[in-house]
Amino acid sequence: MNSEFDVISRYFTRPSPNAVLGSGDDAALIACRPGMDWAVSVDALVAGRHFFPDVAPETLGHKALAVNLSDMAAMGATPRWVTLSLTLTEALAQDDAWLKAFSHGFFTLADQYQVELIGGDTTSGPLNISVQIIGEIEKGRALRRSGARPGDDIWVSGFPGEAALALLFLQHRITLTEPEVARCLTALHTPAPRIALGKVLINVAHSAIDISDGLLADLGHILECSGVAAVVELNHIPRSPALTGKLQQENITRQLAIDCLLAGGDDYELCFTAPENKRDAIALLAQQTGVKLSRIGKIVPGKELAVLNDDGNPLIFNRKGYDHFLAR
Ligand code: ADP
Ligand code: MG
């Protein structure tokens, strides 16, 4: 039988050379370096709400950390330390294969970004994984949601909509070819946080957010926080190869594909705004980071978010109503 402390010591205790004091005491200690701000964020993943309870534990370990790293990316911060609050069912607490795979997924990603686990909490109950993350950024340089200005270009990284497409596939609402399934499930289960991109964007962007709730919903947060409006062009949003064919159809499949593109959550791409005179610099950053960056619209004065259809006419949509997103 694993006790609480067996679980902690076997699966979640690792050296943390960048902390003053890591796991094992009542609190961890970390030093605040002069000239730096901390970026602090927490995200919970709840079984049945954020993931299927039978999802592979290794991907769950990856994703629990990835969604937090993504918040650091959106601020332009360098992730440094995390704490992990783990609520395990009694069965999972005794399932060594599950615990091993979960911690392997978690630490593999942590190692990739030199992020240290410095503490946490382990309790029993319905499966729930909360990660708190602390990152560092030079004082005053963090990217915020509130910096967008009229005249800014709106940019997005990667191919929004793939994670949502994977979800539709798992719900048997659409079909995908095998390579499309592979691509979209990777986006859903093991998203790649855009840390390197966020760190270079602090030199060019006015505002940024990571896309967790859907492109328009999250762009909407930038607009609200910045007190501006936006015009987005549907045909400028990059189309995943898995979405292209579906968008050419004339039926419910096209509608679902547009929903994925505009409102699909769980992508963890970055949406950011930058002045026009940074276009060349941003093209260079795309090359340097190997991340596709697409210019999808403009920030304008006002309050509304307009999306122009392929024919230049406005799409009618309800930003919050994902199911009835598009009325034609
Ligand atoms: P306390 O009772 O003081 O809150 P705990 O008994 O909950 O301490 O935890 C003991 C130590 O193990 C603490 O240092 C805590 O940070 C660490 N810890 C607990 N759970 C985890 C976990 N899931 N991952 C990493 N460290 C953990
Ligand atoms: Mg505790």
pLDDT (tens digit per residue) in 18-52: 999 999 999 999 999 999 999 999 999 998 888 88
pLDDT tens for 158-194 read 999 999 999 999 999 999 999 999 999 999 999 999 9
pTM of this prediction?
Answer: 0.93
| Residue having the nearest C-alpha atom to atom 9 of ligand 1 | 121
Ligand 1 contact, 117 CB (< 6 A)? yes
Q: Residues of the chain with pLDDT > 90: what percent?
A: 87
Q: Measure Cα distances from 7 to 3, 82, 103, 200, 201 in Å.
A: 6, 18, 10, 38, 39
pLDDT at 325: 39
Ligand 1 pocket check: which of 20, 86, 122 to mutate, most ligand atoms within 8 Å of Cβ? 122
Q: Are 101 and 56 in contact (CB under 8 A)?
A: yes
Q: Strand 207-210 vs strand 270-274: parallel, antiparallel, or unpaired?
A: antiparallel
The reply to whether ligand 1 has any atom less than 6 angstroms from the CB of 122 is yes
Closest CA to 195 of 112, 104, 106: 112
Q: 23: Cβ below 6 Å to ligand 1?
A: yes
8 Cβ closer than 6 Å to some ligand 1 atom: yes
pLDDT averaged over the chain? 93
Q: Is the CB of 25 under 6 A from ligand 1?
A: yes
Which residues, by Cβ under 5 Å, contact ligand 2, an ion?
Answer: 121
Over the stretch 189-243, which tens digit does the pLDDT of each residue have? 999 999 999 999 999 999 999 999 999 999 999 999 999 999 999 999 999 999 9
Pocket probe for ligand 1: among 6, 14, 23, the residue whose CB has the most ligand atoms within 8 Å is 23
| CA distance to 22, 190, 246, 294, per residue, from 208 (Å) | 32, 22, 29, 14
Answer yes or no: is the C-beta of 24 below 6 A from any ligand 1 atom. yes
Q: What is the DSSP letter of 146?
A: G
